Structure 1
Amino acid sequence: MSGLLEVIARHAADAERAEAGGADRVELVGTMEHDGLSPEPRLVEQVRAATTLPVRAMLRLREGFGTDGGEVAHLKGLVSAYETAGADGLVLGFLNAHTEIDVEVVTEVVADARPGWTFHRAVDSCISTDRAWRELRNLPGLDQVLTAGSARGVSEGLDELVQRARGDAFARATIMAGGGLLPEHVPWLARAGVRAFHIGSSARPLGSWKAYVDPDLVRTWRTLIDEQVADVPAAGR
């Protein structure tokens, strides 16, 4: 049994290199400003033409995790444009003024989207992560939750991720660990039942966003993840 490896791509060359290194999927962003904002639909078309990997496009227009009524219309337009351009899924997550998942907005945005989308790290900024996880299980079409277990990254949130994966079957099936993920985190997460992992700067030389994805670095992560997942006894999966 192999794990899922998702790599952040900023352009077609990144996607090609991620595929060459053995990635399973790319998360496409237009820029890494504010930890990732939406790409133009034309970029989705370019990446779709460059790779056979599934492509999930970031749906986020500004800093933070909030939105408003006027922006929702724009977001829904992007959903349609991304699907027309060949995206296989979306990456999104919005919180309300109380730092709780904005269930109404998220549900409206994905209403016409195909099933299979990721709720991103907005979950790590919720005032109550337990409540957030209860709400996540009811969002239509959701199949992955990108989380570090903490707004400060996996190094701070590892214990939370491990505990949640061990105690919650839904979380165990949907967690995609990412946000400062390090190689030493993978064995702990794999033993807790986590099977999906997300990398960005660590797929690039010197961790620089100015560099292209490096197939050899992706391949190193591919090997690590598959070895760790394979080493977990079936009863622990």
Structure 2
Amino acid sequence: MSGTAGAPLLEVIALDAADAVAAQEGGADRLELVAEMASDGLTPTTGTVREVLSSTDLPVRVMLRDAAGFLPADLDGLRRTAAELRDAGAEEFVLGFLDGGGAVDVAACAAVLAELAGCRWTFHRALDHASDPDAAWTAAVDLGCDAVLTAGSPRGVEAGIDALLDRAARPRNGVELLVGGGLRTEHVAPLRLAGVRGFHVGGMVRVGGWDTPVDVAKVASLRAMIKPAVPA
């Protein structure tokens, strides 16, 4: 998807059912469900997935990542987990692996995706750590994702804003450019002006960092910036 087509989308990181409820109340459009943010987000337990799915009617994208970094620790284990999470009701996912040279590990991604036939999924910020982000974008899209999460830089949106604006100007053929990773309020206006419609946040909508829950008011404030009310 390129240009300004489509409604803006606000995706909020949730760690549990309470986060999910607060994000929905604040006006989020979708959740990314993860565990262990000290490792930048790993796969949540099956029990947590069930609790979150029963607490909200928002779409929930579940992280499939078993170790910090972008090399899978146990690929067969990830495949089993993916199947278990589907059995638990998960229908959307987040994943992405790099090889030792910093290219997208197409074989590893495809192995996990074999368990996810028919599911929508996001290629996550592995893109920002790739040796060639443009080649990584192409590989991710070829694998069948419908969204790519990126900050434009491994150092976050502030460092990657120019790369994000450049990416926003390119045709994306129906694949969502989802911006996240150190997003701040001052980034929203220039990104929206450039045609970015997807925004992904976590710490930004918590009062005291990852040790505090999602704050309804913070989600609502960000939603108002991303999706201004239409005058009556």
- TM-score relative to the length of structure 1: 0.90
Residue aligning to 1:191: 193
2:218 is aligned with 1:217: yes
Q: Distance in 2 between matches of 1:146 and 1:110?
A: 17
2:50 is aligned with 1:45: yes
Q: Distance in 2 between matches of 1:25 and 1:40?
A: 19
After TM superposition, list the pairs within 5 Å mapping 1:100-111 onto structure 2: 100-111=103-114
Consecutive unaligned residues of structure 1, counting only runs of 5 or more, are 231-237
After TM superposition, list the pairs within 5 Å mapping 1:65-84 onto structure 2: 65-67=70-72, 71-84=74-87
Deviation >6 Å, runs of 4+: none
Q: 1:178 aligns with which of 171, 177, 180?
A: 180
Range with greater deviation from structure 2 (85-94 or 143-152): 85-94
Q: Distance in 2 between matches of 1:98 and 1:122?
A: 13
One-letter amino acid of the counterpart of residue 129, structure 2 = S
Residue aligning to 1:122: 126
- TM-score relative to the length of structure 2: 0.92
Q: Distance in 2 between matches of 1:32 and 1:169?
A: 29
Cα deviation digits, residues 40-75 of structure 1 (max 9, x gap): 11110000111111111111111110125xx11111
Q: Distance in 2 between matches of 1:4 and 1:16?
A: 17
Secondary structure of the structure 2 residue equivalent to 1:227: coil
Residue aligning to 2:93: 90
One-letter amino acid of the counterpart of residue 204, structure 2 = S
Cα RMSD (Å): 1.5
Secondary structure of the structure 2 residue equivalent to 1:8: strand
Q: Distance in 1 between matches of 2:81 and 2:151?
A: 27
Secondary structure of the structure 2 residue equivalent to 1:30: coil
2:11 is aligned with 1:6: yes
Q: Distance in 2 between matches of 1:131 and 1:194?
A: 21
Q: Aligned-pair distance for 1:169?
A: 2.7
Range with greater deviation from structure 2 (56-65 or 148-157): 56-65
Secondary structure of the structure 1 residue equivalent to 2:211: coil
User: Is the Cα–Cα contact under 8 Å of residues 32 and 61 in structure 2 kept in the other structure?
Assistant: yes
After TM superposition, list the pairs within 5 Å mapping 1:120-159 onto structure 2: 120-140=124-144, 142-159=145-162
Residue aligning to 1:235: none
Secondary structure of the structure 2 residue equivalent to 1:184: helix
Residue aligning to 1:54: 59
Residue identity (%): 43
Q: Aligned-pair distance for 1:167?
A: 2.1
Secondary structure of the structure 1 residue equivalent to 2:199: strand
Q: Distance in 1 between matches of 2:171 and 2:161?
A: 15
Residue aligning to 2:205: 203
User: Is the Cα–Cα contact under 8 Å of residues 91 and 119 in structure 2 kept in the other structure?
Assistant: no
Residue aligning to 2:3: none
User: Is the Cα–Cα contact under 8 Å of residues 173 and 194 in structure 1 kept in the other structure?
Assistant: no
Q: Higher helix fraction: Structure 1 or Structure 2? A: 1
